[in-house]
């Protein structure tokens, strides 16, 4: 068996074409969707993510701006910046790029963002809405994963979905979204016993571990759908996922590559959330 590849890059391009039309329509109604990204410090990875978000926004006609603050900024100053953005009617989406310097309490910052502008979907209020199945901003990576599954008409309802990883930004919310779609969900993590036995019962396997190529065909049930969230940079500078793509492809029905998999979908769902914010759809 050779798995069919779910190409996140291609799907993103299709979705962005539709978004571009939507943004044009909004502009005719005098609504200019606007995303503000706050970047603290000079972490090269963060800077590259932030630039990617700005570029993608421009592609679909969303106006975007990067507010840069030094890594010496105090928590109080950062809170003041967010307060100004909260009260600025021209700003529809606010994203604070993580990680933040150690002297800043991340929870305080996330909780200070107006939930109606929380396009990352990280605010506890929006997480609560997601958990109770209410319409809100869904966190971008998990939302991108669900969108990828649906793009291939993969049945989620009734399936056993196994999520390896339980971070607040990927593992936990993707499990919740799969549950909302009526999957039976199992979470695995670094303390899980018998990982291989559990993953071998997965119809849908989501891998969000952050270690290169740790999941190969021995962990995969024949015919499974494998979603590789991992982004790992190797010593030669190349990117690889958490899944051994060649090996897993022999066993799975569907698989996502790295790069050109979940990564591009994450940014695309951020654009989707920004348009949703501009339309005033999240109360
Ligand atoms: P975290 O480090 O926050 O979480 C990793 C999870 O993997 C933890 O829950 C940890 O368990 C679990 N884990 C670690 N080792 C093992 C193991 N040997 N067996 C089973 N579980 C294990 O990472 P993130 O969730 O933030 O990110 C995961 C990966 O996804 C990273 O490579 C990251 O770069 C990538 N990523 C990609 C995105 C995209 O857009 N494609 C977006 C966000 C992240 P425990 O909780 O017990 O420590």
pLDDT by residue for the chain (283 residues), tens digit each? 799 999 999 999 999 999 999 999 999 999 999 999 999 999 999 999 999 999 999 999 999 999 999 999 999 999 999 999 999 999 999 999 999 999 999 999 999 999 999 999 999 999 999 999 999 999 999 999 999 999 999 999 999 999 999 999 999 999 999 999 999 999 999 999 999 999 999 999 999 999 999 999 999 999 999 999 999 999 999 999 999 999 999 999 999 999 999 999 999 999 999 999 999 988 7
Inside any domain, residue 53: yes
Strands 239-240 vs 232-233: parallel, antiparallel or unpaired: antiparallel
- The ipTM, to two decimals, is 0.99
Per DSSP, helices labelled H in the chain are 8-28, 44-60, 75-86, 106-112, 124-131, 140-151, 171-180, 195-199, 245-249, 262-278
Distances (CA, A) of 101 to 65, 81, 123, 170: 21, 16, 19, 21
Within this chain, do residues 105 and 192 fall inside the same structural domain, yes or no?
no
| DSSP β-bridge partners for residue 69 | 40
The reply to whether 10 falls in a domain is no
Give the residue from 98, 108, 118 showing the smallest Cα distance to 35.
118
90, 156: one domain:
no
Please give the residue range of the domain that contains residue 158: 138-263
Indicate whether 172 and 56 sit together in one domain: no
- From the centroid of its chain, how far is CA 267? 7
Cβ neighbours around 11 below 10 Å, total? 20
- Could you tell me the CATH number of the domain that includes residue 94? 3.40.50.10860
Residue 188: phi, psi to the nearest 5?
Answer: -120, 155
How much is the pLDDT for 1?
72
Catalytic (active site) residue 53: yes
Q: Pocket residues for ligand 1 (CB within 6 Å)?
A: 141, 164-167, 169-171, 188-192, 195, 208-211, 229-232, 262-263, 266
Q: Do residues 270 and 119 make contact, with C-beta atoms less than 8 angstroms apart?
A: yes
Q: Quote the pTM value.
A: 0.97
Dist CA 113 CA 119 (whole Å): 10
Of all protein residues, whose CA lies closest to atom 35 belonging to ligand 1?
Answer: 230
Six-digit token pair at 228? 């590789």
Distance 254 CA to ligand 1 centre (A): 21
């Amino acid at each position: 068996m050779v798995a069919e590849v779910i190409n996140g890059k291609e799907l993103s391009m299709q979705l962005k074409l539709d978004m571009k039309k939507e943004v044009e329509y909004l502009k005719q109604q005098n609504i200019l969707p606007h995303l503000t990204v706050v970047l603290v410090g000079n972490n090269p990875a963060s800077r590259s993510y932030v630039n990617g978000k700005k570029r993608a926004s421009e592609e679909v006609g969303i106006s975007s701006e990067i507010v840069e603050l030094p890594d010496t900024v105090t928590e109080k100053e950062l809170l003041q910046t967010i307060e100004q953005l909260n009260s600025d009617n021209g700003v529809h989406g606010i994203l604070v790029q993580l990680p933040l310097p150690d002297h800043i309490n991340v929870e305080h910052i996330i909780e200070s963002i107006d939930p109606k502008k929380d396009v990352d979907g990280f605010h506890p209020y929006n997480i609560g809405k997601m958990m109770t199945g209410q319409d809100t901003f869904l966190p971008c990576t998990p939302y991108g994963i669900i969108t990828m599954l649906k793009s291939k008409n993969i049945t989620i309802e009734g399936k056993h979905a196994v999520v390896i990883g339980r971070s607040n930004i990927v593992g936990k919310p993707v499990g919740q979204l799969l549950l909302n779609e009526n999957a039976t969900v199992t979470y695995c993590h670094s303390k899980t016993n018998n990982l291989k036995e559990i993953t071998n019962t997965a119809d849908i396997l989501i891998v969000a571990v952050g270690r290169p190529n740790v999941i190969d065909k021995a962990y995969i049930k024949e015919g499974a759908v494998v979603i590789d969230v991992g982004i790992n940079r190797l010593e030669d500078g190349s990117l690889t996922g958490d899944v051994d793509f060649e090996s897993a492809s022999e066993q799975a029905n569907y698989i996502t590559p790295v790069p050109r998999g979940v990564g591009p979908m994450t940014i695309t769902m951020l654009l989707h959330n920004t348009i949703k914010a501009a339309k005033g759809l999240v109360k």
